[in-house]
Amino acid sequence: MTEVPLTGGCQCGAVRFRVQRFGRGSICHCRMCQKAFGNFYAPLVSSFGVTWTRGAPSYFQSSNKVRRGFCAACGTPLTYELLDRRADDEIEVAIAAFDDPTLAAPAIQVNPGGKQPFVDAIPSLPTRTEDAEQAAFNASVVSYQHPDHDMTVWPLARQP
């Protein structure tokens, strides 16, 4: 049986990581997580044995209890870390920062008091059908984002 690598990183590729195992995935609705992620909630997964394989995050201490790791080059949110944790304790890692986010599905929502009132209605919003103009635009986009796997050399010679 082949083990699936639990790897990931930021959007630009300056920070990459590997974890040994997952704990529980969660969605946090607190206002600090909303601001840190620039989103309506923060999807995080408890991760154990986190190793930074390229670069390392920068940190912002968002409260007296927590610091948040992010890529200083591109701003990608990466971690939520308790300040009083032991070295071997879990680190909450942003689920979408993993190369395969499907491996860390959320199992619980936390801090529901901060949930934005429209979040539960999002699945019922209409979906824009891709027309010819949108399809042409999408086809013209050249991504400079790091691929969803480790690279020996990065960045590739491709930036404008």
CA distance 144 to 156: 9
User: Is residue 113 situated within a structural domain?
Assistant: yes
* Closest CA relative to residue 42, chosen from 68, 61, 64, 23: 68
CA distance 72 to 58: 6
Q: Between 113 and 145, where is the model more confident?
A: 113
Look at residue 149 in the predicted model and tell me its pLDDT: 86
Domain count, the chain: 1
User: Is residue 155 situated within a structural domain?
Assistant: no
Res. 40 pLDDT band, cuts 50 70 90 = very high
State the virtual CA torsion across 84, 109, 31, 13 in degrees, nearest 10. 70
User: Is residue 44 situated within a structural domain?
Assistant: yes
User: Is residue 152 situated within a structural domain?
Assistant: no
User: Is residue 127 situated within a structural domain?
Assistant: yes
CATH of the domain at 89: 2.170.150.70
Q: Which domain holds residue 43?
A: 7-140
Q: Is 80 within 8 Å of 42 (Cβ atoms)?
A: yes
Q: What does the pLDDT look like over 57-83, one tens digit per residue?
A: 999 999 999 999 999 999 999 999 999
The predicted model scores a pTM of 0.87
**Confidence check: pLDDT of 154 > 80:** no
Q: Which residues pair with 60 in a beta bridge?
A: 68
User: Is residue 102 situated within a structural domain?
Assistant: yes
**Mean pLDDT of the region 116-122:** 96
Look at residue 1 in the predicted model and tell me its pLDDT: 43
User: Is residue 153 situated within a structural domain?
Assistant: no
